[in-house]
Amino acid sequence: MNDRLDILNIWVDPVNMDQALARVKQFIEQGERPHSIFAVNPEKEFSIPKDPVLYEIFKTADLLIPDGIGIVCAARILHGVRLSRVPGADLMVKICELAAAENYRIFIYGANEEVNQAASQALVRRYPGLNIVGRSNGFVKDENMPELIAKINASRAQILFLALGSPKQEKWFATYKDQLSSVRVCQGIGGTLDTIAGKVKRAPQLWQRCGAEWLYRLLKEPKRLKRQNVLPVFAAVVIFAKLIKLQAQTILNLMESDKVHR
């Protein structure tokens, strides 16, 4: 996308849910290769630049959705662009709704066996006619990967959901994308299957609408603090970057007016 926004160290595409879904449809109908969809949130601001492989994976991703409220606020502060959140978990179920309507074939890879099975069944119950052509738990050993790839290709799945957590799912995509023959859309969905299966509870709507889903998750799973303690640093760096931008703009304006007066 050429209107991709730079948010400090990484990027985000300025799409809302409908536009993201339209891109998914386009990837499936017109694409001839697997297209990657990854979620962007502040935690990734710090992990991605440290890892050149991951940095390249995100740089070349086909769709980077504004998953977290931190990224939405940063886009507003740094670029004056009003984004709405496109949470990866919501996009995933919308893709399922689209797939049920268009009869697209889905493969679900990730989470433990019990969760993977329960989530697949729940999705079929929610979207009758949903064509889940294959699934696998997320604990396949490297030496068994050729079998998994053969299974995905034999299923002729057009949509592959990767529920391995980040950055494992992004790295898996980078390693195996060239071996996927039928997949056109591959979305990294992290722990979404755990919420669909009912193992983990998502934040109530009100918390989501207030942009406090991260806080709810933190309260429910305090061990996530290690990952989320980057949030205040992220906020400070965004404000600092904005101040530097304003300062640079003021200097440029002064230089301009100086030129006019001379």
Q: Give contact residues for ligand UDP (rule: CB under 6 A).
A: 110-112, 138-139, 163-166, 168, 190-191, 193-194
Whichever of 66 and 190 has its CB closer to ligand UDP, that residue is: 190
Whichever of 76 and 220 has its CB closer to ligand UDP, that residue is: 220
In the complex, the smallest distance separating the C-beta of residue 52 from ligand UDP, rounded to whole angstroms, is 20
In the complex, the smallest distance separating the C-beta of residue 89 from ligand UDP, rounded to whole angstroms, is 8
How close are the terminal C-alpha atoms of the chain, in Å?
43
In the complex, the smallest distance separating the C-beta of residue 192 from ligand UDP, rounded to whole angstroms, is 7
Residue type for position 3 = D
Whichever of 194 and 213 has its CB closer to ligand UDP, that residue is: 194
Q: What is the C-alpha to C-alpha distance for residues 55 and 144, in angstroms, rounded to an integer?
A: 27
Cβ–Cβ under 8 Å, residues 67 and 213: no
In the complex, the smallest distance separating the C-beta of residue 147 from ligand UDP, rounded to whole angstroms, is 16
Cβ–Cβ under 8 Å, residues 84 and 13: no
Tokens of 82: 């009003």
Whichever of 158 and 192 has its CB closer to ligand UDP, that residue is: 192
Whichever of 158 and 166 has its CB closer to ligand UDP, that residue is: 166
In the complex, the smallest distance separating the C-beta of residue 82 from ligand UDP, rounded to whole angstroms, is 25
State the alpha helices, DSSP H only, in the chain.
17-30, 42-47, 52-59, 69-79, 88-102, 113-126, 145-155, 168-176, 192-196, 205-209, 213-220, 225-228, 231-261
Tokens of 44: 């990734």
Placement of tokens 């703009």 in the chain: 249
